[in-house]
Amino acid sequence: MSGMNKRVADFIKKHQLLQQEEHYLVALSGGADSVCLLLILKQLGYSVEAVHCNFNLRGEEAERDELFCVSLCEEQHIPLHRIHFDTREYASSHHVSVEMAARELRYRYFAQLCQDLSAAAVCVAHHQDDTVETILMNLLRGTGIHGLAGIQPVSYLKAMSNPFPAPLTVVRPLLCLSRSDIEQYLENIGQLYITDSTNLHADETLRNKLRLEVIPLLQQVTPSVKENIAQSARYIQEAAKVFDEVMKEHVTKVMNGNRISIKLLKTTPSPEYVLYTILKDYGFSSPQVEQMGERLDAGSGTVFCSSTHEVLIDRDEMIIEPLYKPVKPMQIPETGTYLYHGASSGMDTDEDSTMRFRFSFAEMSISEIPHDKCIACLDAAAVSFPLTIRPVQQGDRFVPFGMKGSKLVSDYLTDRKYSLFDKRRQLVVTDSSNRIVWLVNERPDNRFCVTHDTERVLQITVTP
């Protein structure tokens, strides 16, 4: 085994990146890094197939890259999967940068291909120089401990309908090598590769400016700057492991389901960072979390929103839920069973929940009325069809069972200590005159309740 191969093999073993019995995909662009990765993994005896993405961004040069990958894989007897993307159209239609569009497109394809081929992971060719550039980029943008740790040897992308249809594991076996190591390796074995011309111009991206202008300037001050930064990143990665374990303990301490105890949060060494650790997975940025940290004592009803979720301050808790999707009223023309697609509750799912409503007439006396909050028994003669199932609206009033005067539904729910999220999910059943006959799963309206004079009962039953 060559010295280079041994370094990569040792790195793989240390971080438990690959297993000999598994099958892997290798992202192949045709550049030095990915060519080196493909050849070394093959020489180490791993079962691999190559994947090439043509983003149609560089005209003839992109076609050249693809043909090179085809030729290389034929020569090495490695299966190659190819795909073409209309990256600019995707970026425009999804309102993201071209760079982000390319990332989403390729990783979505990688996830689907791994699933189809039963591949354990996709291997990408990030190396030590990429880590150095990433750390500097993070510093310029403002970062925390994980940003200073650089690129991780392995990443796990969660399954989402967009951009990733299935879970994806991404491994980086070349993080132990520098760019010069890779180029020297390919020169020693006489292996050609292609060069992306966009990487040669400092005016293209921030990463290029750092690679072509800033880092060479730093090397004039400290020739070993790249090695030093990479070593610092390794130290920080180890420190981050300890940090993450401590943060897990604090998160477990302050969080119960989708609720965060503000009182317990304040007892942690850094309430803001604990809060960020929880909320970053729900689309909240550092500035948003900082603002929340400053308003922990804000009154109930304060809401913060990300692109996917909301956080509500409710008394001494913070409640996290997916963005609310208003639901339409459903008309009930006659008795029968109806499926109502209402807003979901809690963090169990982002999808709408379905409730089954059953409307039926029955003969029963007051003593036979079931004491179940999921069942409402009303005087059929007092209720006029069509009925309507809908969420509570502002200004809704009803006469709670056992009372004579009317009350705002919102006040009733407040007395019951319902949160803002609970209130807007609350359903009512109204009659043809838009009078509330039942506050679903709470109380019927006293005006429609069964009396000794009731001849026929309208029974409404709701189940998930």
Would you list the domain boundaries of the chain? 3-221, 255-322, 330-463
| Structure confidence by residue, pLDDT tens digits, 170-197 | 999 999 999 999 999 999 999 999 987 6
What pLDDT, on the 0 to 100 scale, is given for residue 164?
Answer: 56
Q: Quick check: 256 and 346 in contact, CB under 8 A?
A: no
Better-predicted residue by pLDDT, 331 or 345:
331
Mean pLDDT within 267-295: 91
What pLDDT, on the 0 to 100 scale, is given for residue 161?
Answer: 47
Mean pLDDT within 400-417: 91
What pLDDT, on the 0 to 100 scale, is given for residue 196?
Answer: 74
Which among 362, 396, 389, 391 is positioned nearest to 377, based on CA atoms? 362
What pLDDT, on the 0 to 100 scale, is given for residue 229?
Answer: 94
Report percent pLDDT > 90 for the chain.
Answer: 73
Checking if the pLDDT of 231 tops 60, the result is: yes
| Structure confidence by residue, pLDDT tens digits, 68-83 | 999 999 999 999 999 9
What pLDDT, on the 0 to 100 scale, is given for residue 347?
Answer: 44
**C-alpha distances out from residue 442 to 167, 371, 423, 427, 448, Å:** 41, 11, 12, 10, 15
Q: What is the mean pLDDT of the chain?
A: 90
Tokens 């970062």 — which residue? Answer: 143
Checking if the pLDDT of 230 tops 60, the result is: yes
- Give the model's confidence band at 30: pLDDT under 50 very low, under 70 low, under 90 confident, else very high: very high
What pLDDT, on the 0 to 100 scale, is given for residue 99?
Answer: 87
What pLDDT, on the 0 to 100 scale, is given for residue 404?
Answer: 83
What pLDDT, on the 0 to 100 scale, is given for residue 71?
Answer: 96
CATH 3.50.40.10 fits 330-463, yes or no: yes
- Give the model's confidence band at 346: pLDDT under 50 very low, under 70 low, under 90 confident, else very high: very low
- Give the model's confidence band at 348: pLDDT under 50 very low, under 70 low, under 90 confident, else very high: very low
| Structure confidence by residue, pLDDT tens digits, 82-113 | 999 999 999 999 888 888 899 999 999 999 99
Report percent pLDDT > 70 for the chain.
Answer: 94
Checking if the pLDDT of 119 tops 70, the result is: yes
What pLDDT, on the 0 to 100 scale, is given for residue 247?
Answer: 94
What pLDDT, on the 0 to 100 scale, is given for residue 349?
Answer: 42
At the topology level, CATH places domain 3-221 in Rossmann fold (3.40.50)
147, β-bridge pairs: none
- Burial of 159-197, coded b for 16+ CB within 10 Å and e otherwise, reads eeeebbebebbbbbbbbbbbbebbeebbeeeeeebbeee
Gyration radius from the chain CA atoms: 30
- Give the model's confidence band at 158: pLDDT under 50 very low, under 70 low, under 90 confident, else very high: confident
What pLDDT, on the 0 to 100 scale, is given for residue 351?
Answer: 45
d(CA 102, CA 96): 10
What pLDDT, on the 0 to 100 scale, is given for residue 286?
Answer: 86
| Structure confidence by residue, pLDDT tens digits, 363-384 | 888 888 888 999 999 999 999 9
Q: SS3 of 265, please? A: helix
| Structure confidence by residue, pLDDT tens digits, 34-66 | 999 999 999 999 999 999 999 998 888 999 999
- Helix residue ranges per DSSP H, 118-223: 128-141, 145-148, 179-189, 206-209, 215-221
| Structure confidence by residue, pLDDT tens digits, 243-277 | 999 999 999 999 999 999 999 999 999 999 999 99
Which among 293, 279, 381, 355 is positioned nearest to 321, based on CA atoms? 279
CATH 3.30.465 fits 255-322, yes or no: yes
Mean pLDDT within 219-242: 93
What pLDDT, on the 0 to 100 scale, is given for residue 199?
Answer: 64
What pLDDT, on the 0 to 100 scale, is given for residue 298?
Answer: 82
pTM of the full structure: 0.69
